[in-house]
Amino acid sequence: MASKPRTLYDKIWDAHVVETRDDGTSLVFIDRHLVHEVTSPQAFEALRLAGRKVRRPDLTLAVPDHNLPTTARLDANGKRIPIADPQSAAQLAALEANAPAFGIRYIDASAAEQGIVHVVGPEQGFSLPGATIVCGDSHTAAHGGVGALAFGIGTSEVEHVLATQTLLLKRSKTMEVVVEGLLGPGVTAKDLILHIIGVVGTAGGTGHVIEYRGRVFEEMSVEGRLTVCNMSIEAGARAGLIAPDDTTFAYLKGRPLSPTGNDWDAAVNWWRSLATDPGAQFDKSVTIDASAVQPTVTWGTSPEDVVPVGGVVPDPASFADPSKQAAAQKSIEYMGLTPGQAMCDVSVQNIFIGSCTNSRIEDLRAAADVLRGRHKADNVKWAIVVPGSGLVKMQAEEEGLDKIFTDAGFEWREPGCSACLGMNPDKVPPGERCASTSNRNFVGRQGPGARTHLMSPAMAAAAAVTGRIADVRELT
Amino acid sequence: MEPVSAINGRAIPFGRKNVDTDVIIPAEWLKTISREGLGQGAFEAVRAEPGNVFDDPEFAGAPILIAGDNFGCGSSREHAAWALLDLGIKAVVAPSFSDIFASNAFKNGILTVTLPQENIDRLMEVAQTDPLQIDLDSQMVTTQFQDRFHFEIDPFRKQCLAEGLDEVGLTLARDNAISAYETRAATQMPWLSKGTEIAA
């Protein structure tokens, strides 16, 4: 008898079920656990209090990212520069002490391999296709870009994974986002995912795992796929997936923690079998026309508040749902905008290029291409580039990108989460606007009172040059 | 975790949709290495609004929060659940919750009650002046009027809440099953068993 066609999600799920309880809850094995300083101290403390150890330290990797200042970390003598904020310093010190105390490999803040966990995982070959990957961070969804089932968890679940290497989970529903056709020139993976979130809505994927399907993803680089999957959570889905293929394998081959020799061959064989079978059923399906996707920006305080760059700030009355009308009104007030105002008339004072969404080498190249031979506008007070990892930074410097950025008036920083969430000193001042390549435009996300417009790296560079939101296609 | 049975008392009629975890607890407050004291930072931006429900003495000490669709969207920070606990919130009633927030709330013994918008509208009205009663065993939200709203809850979560079970302890008791899986996986997918030791 032929077995029932399965989705990519079904295949990864089935391969990781330890056992299923009568009530349908399954104990699921976790292959890779990334740990950072913000969501782990309480979990380690709970283990300590209960006298429990980490079951599989070898499947766990710790790296600091959220709290680290992005200014120089070592002085001229190679000595560590102390972190001014005592709370941040204490939290970082806790991770640095907890990791070795529990036998976990720790990447030091000054190591070249340090970076944002979601950049480090794929870059080190720690994140692999078909693996289950968790981290106490909702943007863990990013690792779906290499075909891993990856999702964010809370601190109690971090503790659960540390102690047992498993999670108690219910099987998710599945949703396919089918993108037909190809993206036009100047339209990037970031524009596509912002557009998708606008269609699906910020809660549209709740309870589901999204699989992104279509030729556009087959032709997309791994960096682009990581960007797309990263923001699945902004559509409510805990995880996003793109089937692993030759592009994925070429990206992973030879990375420090990637399989080698016979293991590699066996792994590739299995990875090739993971793609969704023809005829497999999804619980929900959304179709997107790629040719309709324009460079896209956000106008409001939810990632679903998107508009093509040539568009205008919507009139709250244009929304059918009365509660959405009220929310839009509130957002527009917070953002200091006027209904009907052209997005291209909105001036910006701050530019942030970075975050786990857009801080990989390809992102920096795209921004640098726009900035080459240009300078930021006078009204742009603060422009920073925060590479996703020390290795991305080194690669960019080898290519001379740092020079392009600094010549254009940008600051070239050390890796970390930075102004994406304003936990470290990198914040957008109250009432000011930021063209940001990050993932969330929530109220106060980049600092109290800060106004965020999400966009692609090339669009953020165009905003820097013009001092306003601008269509990058008109610059090049 | 303390067992949960009934939650009775005033409810904060917040009602807002798409309340993200940055609104529940801003990132600045995540630098703590403790679970305590986060109530001070809870809903910081909302509380800056004049006449907000959180600082209304009418709702001081209320154990229930009523919210709109998609409550707790955004970040996975469990600090959002800890902040609610620190405010004295033991149950949140809303038309829908983000998956990660609902899980975090559950792990901290906060009951997330999902009800249709029309029931929420009615509870928002009652909450202005009168208390609500939430009973986990019968899965019912009631008022002193005629309202009786039944809610669904996952049976496993219900049992854990009702008995105050330690989930880590429960899973550790399945050690044999986990070990059997690890042995099987080491043969079938050996590269996945190697983790950070591969380069060593």
Provide the pLDDT for residue A2.
63
User: What is residue A170's three-state secondary structure?
Assistant: coil
Q: Is residue B15 part of a domain?
A: yes
Backbone angles phi, psi at A106, to 5 degrees: -120, 130
Mapped to the 3 state alphabet, what secondary structure does A275-307 carry? Answer: CCCCCCCCCEEEEEEHHHCCCEEECCCCCCCEE
Nearest to B103 among A56, A154, A257 (CB): A154
Cβ within 8 Å, pair B30-A440 = no
Residues B159 and B173 in one domain: no
Provide the domain limits for residue B140. 6-164
DSSP codes joined into one string, A382-402: EEEE--SBHHHHHHHHHTTHH
DSSP codes joined into one string, A61-98: EE---SS--SS-SB-TTSPBPPPS-HHHHHHHHHHHHH
Q: Which helix (H) or strand (E) holds A167?
A: strand A166-169
Residues B35 and B15 in one domain: yes
Cα(B173)–Cα(B169) distance, rounded to whole angstroms?
A: 6
Q: Report the residue count for chain A.
A: 476
Q: Is residue B185 part of a domain?
A: yes
pLDDT in tens, A134-182: 999 999 999 999 999 999 999 999 999 999 999 999 999 999 999 999 9
DSSP codes joined into one string, B73-127: BS---THHHHHHHHHT--EEEES-B-HHHHHHHHHTTPEEEE--HHHHHHHHHHH
Mutant choice from B24, B46, B99 vs A, greatest count of A C-beta within 10 A: B99
Residue B157: which CATH number? Answer: 3.20.19.10
Q: In 3D, which of A127, A141, A111, A138 has the Cα closest to residue A415? A: A111
Q: Which residues contact A455 (CB under 8 A, 6 or more apart)?
A: A190, A191, A194, A295, A296, A297, A298, A309, A435, A436, A437, A463, A469
pLDDT in tens, A242-252: 999 999 999 99
Residues B143 and B189 in one domain: no
Q: Distance between the two ends of chain A, CA-based, in angstroms?
A: 57
Q: Is residue B78 part of a domain?
A: yes
Residues B174 and B160 in one domain: no
Q: For each of chain A's 476 residues, which pLDDT tens digit applies?
A: 568 999 999 999 999 999 999 889 999 999 999 999 999 999 999 999 999 999 999 999 999 999 999 999 999 999 999 999 999 999 999 999 999 999 999 999 999 999 999 999 999 999 999 999 999 999 999 999 999 999 999 999 999 999 999 999 999 999 999 999 999 999 999 999 999 999 999 999 999 999 999 999 999 999 999 999 999 999 999 999 999 999 999 999 999 999 999 999 999 999 999 999 999 999 999 999 999 999 999 999 999 999 999 999 999 999 998 888 999 999 999 999 999 999 999 999 999 999 999 999 999 999 999 999 999 999 999 999 999 999 999 999 999 999 999 999 999 999 999 999 999 999 999 999 999 999 999 999 999 999 999 999 999 999 999 999 999 999 96
Q: Which residues contact A168 (CB under 8 A, 6 or more apart)?
A: A25, A26, A27, A28, A160, B156, B167, B171
Angstrom distances, CA of residue A212 to CA of A25, A72, A193:
26, 39, 10
Q: Is residue B156 part of a domain?
A: yes
Nearest to A91 among B31, B68, B76 (CB): B31
Rounded to 5°, angle at Cα A100 from A98 and A104: 95
Residues B34 and B65 in one domain: yes
E runs forming strands in A225-366:
239-241, 284-289, 296-298, 306-308, 350-353
Query: How buried is A303 (Cβ within 10 angstroms: 0-12 exposed, 13-18 middle, 19+ buried)?
Result: buried
SS3 content of chain B, % helix, strand, coil (to 5): 45, 15, 40
User: Cβ distance B64 to B12 under 8 Å?
Assistant: yes
A389 DSSP β-pair partners: A115
Cα(A156)–Cα(B26) distance, rounded to whole angstroms?
A: 19
Q: Which helix (H) or strand (E) holds B131?
A: none
Cβ within 8 Å, pair B100-A42 = no
Nearest CA in chain A to B82: A155
**Helices A41-50 and A86-101, packing angle to 10 deg:** 50
Cβ within 8 Å, pair A263-B77 = no
Which residues make up the CATH 3.30.499.10 domain(s) of chain A? Answer: 8-169, 296-474
Cβ within 8 Å, pair B33-A19 = no
Cβ within 8 Å, pair B103-A157 = yes
Residues B118 and B194 in one domain: no
Residues B26 and B119 in one domain: yes
Cα(A349)–Cα(A467) distance, rounded to whole angstroms?
A: 7
**How far B118 CA lies from chain A's nearest CA (Å)?**
13
Angstrom distances, CA of residue A355 to CA of A69, A128, A414, A455, B57:
14, 21, 12, 12, 41
For residue A45, give both structure tokens: 């403390």
Q: Is residue B115 over pLDDT 50?
A: yes
Q: Is residue B129 part of a domain?
A: yes
Q: Is residue B1 part of a domain?
A: no
Identify the CATH assignment for A296-474 out of 3.50.30.10, 3.30.499.10, 3.40.50.300, 3.40.50.2300: 3.30.499.10
Provide the pLDDT for residue B200.
41
Cα(A344)–Cα(A462) distance, rounded to whole angstroms?
A: 11
Q: Is residue B199 over pLDDT 50?
A: no
Name the fold adopted by A173-243+270-292.
Answer: Aconitase; Domain 2 (3.40.1060)
Q: Is residue B127 over pLDDT 60?
A: yes
Mutant choice from B78, B97, B106 vs A, greatest count of A C-beta within 10 A: B78
Residues B87 and B129 in one domain: yes
Cα(A129)–Cα(A31) distance, rounded to whole angstroms?
A: 11
A45 contacts on B by Cβ (under 8 Å): 33
Nearest to A58 among B98, B99, B195 (CB): B195
Q: Is residue B198 over pLDDT 60?
A: no
CATH of domain A8-169: 3.30.499.10
Provide the pLDDT for residue B2.
85
Q: Which residues contact B152 (CB under 8 A, 6 or more apart)?
A: B114, B139
Residues B106 and B175 in one domain: no
B140 DSSP assignment: E
Cα(A415)–Cα(A413) distance, rounded to whole angstroms?
A: 7
Q: Which residues contact A227 (CB under 8 A, 6 or more apart)?
A: A142, A145, A188, A189, A190, A193, A357, A358, A363
For chain B, the domain total comes to: 2
Provide the pLDDT for residue A363.
98
Mutant choice from A38, A48, A61, A274 vs B, greatest count of B C-beta within 10 A: A38
Residues B23 and B34 in one domain: yes
Cα(B146)–Cα(A169) distance, rounded to whole angstroms?
A: 37
The mean per-residue pLDDT over the stretch B90-116 comes to 97
Provide the pLDDT for residue A3.
83
